[in-house]
Amino acid sequence: MREFNYSKIRDQKWDSDILGYIAAIYKEAGKQEQYLKQRPEALGKLVEIAKVQSTEASNAIEGIVTTNTRIKQLVEEKTTPRNRDEQEIAGYRDVLNVIHESFDAIPISRNYILQLHKIMYSHMNNPIAGQTKIVQNYISAAYPDGHTEILFTPLAPFETPEALDRICEEYNRVIGNMEAEPLIAIPVFIHDFLCIHPFNDGNGRMSRLLTTLLLYRNGFYVGKYISLEAKIAQTKDLYYDALSRSQDGWHKGCEDTIPFIKYLLGVILAAYKDFEDRFSIVETKLPAIDMVRKATQNKIGRFSKQDIRELCPSLSISSIEGSLRKLVKSGELAREGTGKSTCYLRLK
């Protein structure tokens, strides 16, 4: 089995892009802290929206879906799962809630990772829930002509428990001793987790939950208000490309993690920028139409009523719909389509 030594993070020379991302994220995190002190009551709706988006997006990446209405009802615990997909969605919601409420009491260890995996499958009868893989798994790609290609072979099942222990120990050591920058140690840990691929099912979703957990434990709370999973889903091709490029040579310990580190830092920074945009709209008490107008000015190209709702969480749907109608009537917006396919364009 390959060795893990996170002290290399401290010794490596990082390029200006990575250092720039880190500086920008710390700056945005500081600004967010000030925003939270100013208007904590205005941000409750952002938390609700982010939970729904995170649960929906992380599962959708894996092909696990249900309707928008059902997702919202499941996340708000107003209904029970009807099928396997909804059971998996409810499990993801449960783990996300545990992380939101108790992140500071969840140590980074194999045992706790297995417990979170077990919770994720708690709504279904899955005999391998909370256990590392029992058969070899592969990371593969399916092509339109029907054939599949193995892109990467993770560690063998017998090597997996020890490898999970080792990456947890290494991460805890360098973070506890302040040997490594957390914003580099986190992507390195998540990359190793994905290369180990410790479970026969749920590795991608667990990696995204662990990303949120590690960020929270290091004081980066943006995922509470802006869905990191939705950001990853929107750039899924870039995510898989960065992961693939960083996996080359992993078994021999000579991989280049820079593509994956840059990708994940870019996602985190984009989420912080979104938070700033949304806070700028909710921080001042404006009439509904002015709030919606301000939100539309942040949009380029076509956007939906849901896009505006995310930026104006304090407004009801009826207030948003009424404001959009007025902006269309005044010639500030154009409306296209009908029903669920309705979208808007800014004209002024």
pLDDT on residue 348: 81
Architecture of domain 286-346: Orthogonal Bundle (1.10)
Can you give the residue ranges of every domain in the chain? 7-281, 286-346
**For residue 319, is pLDDT > 80?**
yes
Provide the 3-class DSSP secondary structure of residue 224: helix
**More confidently predicted of 310 and 269:** 269
pLDDT on residue 313: 77
| CB contact at 8 A, 278 and 270 | no
Instruction: Answer whether 0.95 is exceeded by the pTM.
Output: no
Q: What is the mean pLDDT of the segment spanning 102-106?
A: 98
The token duo for 58 is: 């992380």
CATH topology of domain 7-281: Fic-like fold (1.10.3290)
Q: Which residues pair with 303 in a beta bridge?
A: 344
- pLDDT, averaged across the chain: 94
Residue 137: C-alpha distances to residues 131, 153, 182, 194, 197 (Å): 14, 7, 29, 12, 8
Q: Which pLDDT tens digit goes with each residue over 239-270? A: 999 999 999 999 999 999 999 999 999 999 99
Whole-number percent of the chain with pLDDT over 90: 82
Q: Which pLDDT tens digit goes with each residue over 15-69? A: 999 999 999 999 999 999 988 887 777 677 789 889 999 999 999 999 999 998 9
Whole-number percent of the chain with pLDDT over 70: 99
The token duo for 82 is: 């009807």
Q: Which pLDDT tens digit goes with each residue over 203-222? A: 999 999 999 999 999 999 99
